[in-house]
Amino acid sequence: MRKVTGFILCTSLILGGCSFISKNQAKDIPKTVSVKDYDGKYIGEHKKRNEVFLKKHKDEAIKKYKDYVKDTFGYDCKINLVDAYTNKSGFSEKSKVDGISVVGTVNYDVPFQLQLLFVESDNGVTITTFTPGHINETSAAVSAMMYKRYEHEIEQARLNLKNEIEKDGYYAMSEKLQLKQEFNGVTRQYLNFRTDSIDDLDKFKKEFKPIMHLKGDAFNQQLQFLINKYPQIQKNMKSEFIAYYDNEKNRETVKNYAWNLQKSINDVMQSYPSTKFVQFYKDDVSPSMVDGNGRLKSDSNVISIEGGKYNENK
């Protein structure tokens, strides 16, 4: 099963249990790629069964994705990625469940990334969710709403980090790859931003959806009402600042650099309420395998610091 951190599987929609399996790499797929110029074309599993399943259900999955976005959020969207996968709960062929992952960008005031998973049902496909109330799916929209509320402060932090690290040879993944992350929230260069939602789809449509369409002071006032009612949507905001470094760079050098970086970015990182992590990955990633954060899997361990906590780390 494609992993979404922090939520429980909705067993009524999952056909059998699930576990992670390595994605089969075809002979023409490179072992590793660089995030600088990779467009994500090999993301997914590439066994014959995956190709057959994708060909059979791709068009229906895309249509249902667009219908879901329109009904749930009231906006149009752009499809960025459609790939196939196979889950398994045991060792027999019958225990395997094929699925399709669709990732797109919802055309909101703050565009946000949304992943939906589909499994076969009645010779078609149906959306499979991780909780009955679609908390993971609606969290993408709530993340965009909170980003809209704090956009000036978040953008200052993002651009400050970009300016600091690019002069020292660190870089972001390509925009094409950025938009193919299997992620629910706001994706910008160097940043993935997300927060929690409520586990009640009907209540989301009634309470959150109308506020999404507001502007200016009206939006801020009504969003504050939601924050007061559901404090977790602000309390659990998480900013992941993501950068990559060349294979030639020594890991210890990067660790020291990350530690020293905390001081120069400290003040701007404190300007809005969110946990903030700056993460450095070696630019040597799988062309097809996605990790638990929805990014292409890296063979090296991440180097991470917490932003805005410099004084506490002294």
Overall domain count for the chain: 1
pLDDT at 6 over 90: no
Indicate whether 195 belongs to any domain: yes
Indicate whether 264 belongs to any domain: yes
Indicate whether 58 belongs to any domain: no
pLDDT at 1 over 60: no
Q: What pLDDT is attached to residue 311?
A: 64
Strands 186-188 and 124-128 come out as unpaired
Domain boundaries, position 158: 139-313
The length of the chain is: 314
pLDDT at 5 over 60: no
Indicate whether 297 belongs to any domain: yes
**Up-side HSE of residue 12: CA atoms within 13 Å toward CB?**
4
Over residues 130-147, mean pLDDT: 98
Over residues 298-311, mean pLDDT: 84
Indicate whether 68 belongs to any domain: no
Q: What pLDDT is attached to residue 92?
A: 60
Each residue's pLDDT tens digit, 161-173: 999 999 999 999 9
* Cα 243 from Cα 262, distance rounded (Å): 14
Q: What pLDDT is attached to residue 87?
A: 85
Indicate whether 129 belongs to any domain: no
- Band of pLDDT at residue 19, cut at 50, 70 and 90: very low
Indicate whether 207 belongs to any domain: yes
Q: What pLDDT is attached to residue 313?
A: 46
pTM > 0.75: yes or no: yes
Each residue's pLDDT tens digit, 29-50: 999 999 999 999 999 999 999 9
Q: What pLDDT is attached to residue 96?
A: 83
- Report the SS3 class of residue 27: coil
- Band of pLDDT at residue 88, cut at 50, 70 and 90: low
Over residues 104-112, mean pLDDT: 99
> Which residues, other chains included, contact 142 with Cβ-Cβ below 8 Å and sequence gap of 6+?
195, 196, 197, 208, 233
- Band of pLDDT at residue 18, cut at 50, 70 and 90: very low
pLDDT at 108 over 60: yes
Indicate whether 261 belongs to any domain: yes
pLDDT at 90 over 80: no
pLDDT at 220 over 90: yes
Best CA proximity match to 279, nearest among 19, 1, 35 = 35
